[in-house]
Amino acid sequence: MIPRLLLATNNFGKLAEYDVLLEGCGWELVTPRDLGIDLEVDETGETYEANATMKARRGAQASGLVTLADDSGIEIEAMGGEPGLRSARFLGEHASYLERFAEIQRRLAKVPRERRRARFRCAIAVADPRTGAVRCAEGEVFGLIAGAPRGEGGFGYDPIFWVPQHSATMAELPEYQKNIISHRARAAAGARQILKELLYEHEREQGARS
């Protein structure tokens, strides 16, 4: 029987990426919506890892399943690292990304291209309800803030994150390419190893019981 892994998000963009990033990992992916549970968590941590850990623990406690959660953000050097941990709430939870893009462009209006450095960061936490243990993996990618939003792919801040080595924003990259270089892809590579180890432990326990 394939063990189930709870992805502690209902964000369709993230779920679509994880479907690809975790393909063939040996776990059946399920969502809070699938299980009919509410996983709203106040992200009060001071790091991405702390926020991801809180969400993963909450999911594991509510579902009894191994749970994967992440927290991510964009850090813009000329804005002192903002929006950072507040990326999903920048200008308020109900602000549109177009409004957020416009405010970022306003703040960077006099900043030359070479000083528009930014990075995407992602922390993934995997919580095991059997032991209470949480293991984490992180990833990041560096780029620049584009002069205007470009591209229809991805989600969140992807349209304004310019990847110099590909001469494109993250939203302009083909899905397969984004899923190689993105901050979430790099964190997911570490998470796959964690899941592989947990799967081995799960199978060993199952074998001991039979």
C-alpha–C-alpha distance, residues 111 and 145, integer Å: 10
Residue 71 known to be catalytic: yes
Tokens 């002069």, residue located:
147
- Report the phi/psi class of residue 148: left, alpha or beta, with left for phi > 0 and alpha for psi in -120 to 50: beta
- Name the pairing type of β-strands 134-145 and 66-76: unpaired
User: Structure pTM?
Assistant: 0.93
C-alpha–C-alpha distance, residues 166 and 171, integer Å: 12
Domain 4-209 in this protein, CATH class? alpha beta
Which of these is catalytic: 19, 34, 42, 71?
71
One pLDDT digit (tens) per residue for the chain, 210 residues? 789 999 999 888 889 999 999 999 999 999 999 999 988 888 889 999 999 999 999 999 999 999 999 999 999 999 999 999 999 999 998 999 999 999 999 999 999 999 999 999 999 999 999 999 999 999 999 999 999 999 999 899 999 999 999 999 999 999 999 999 999 999 999 999 999 999 988 777 766 665
C-alpha–C-alpha distance, residues 135 and 60, integer Å: 13
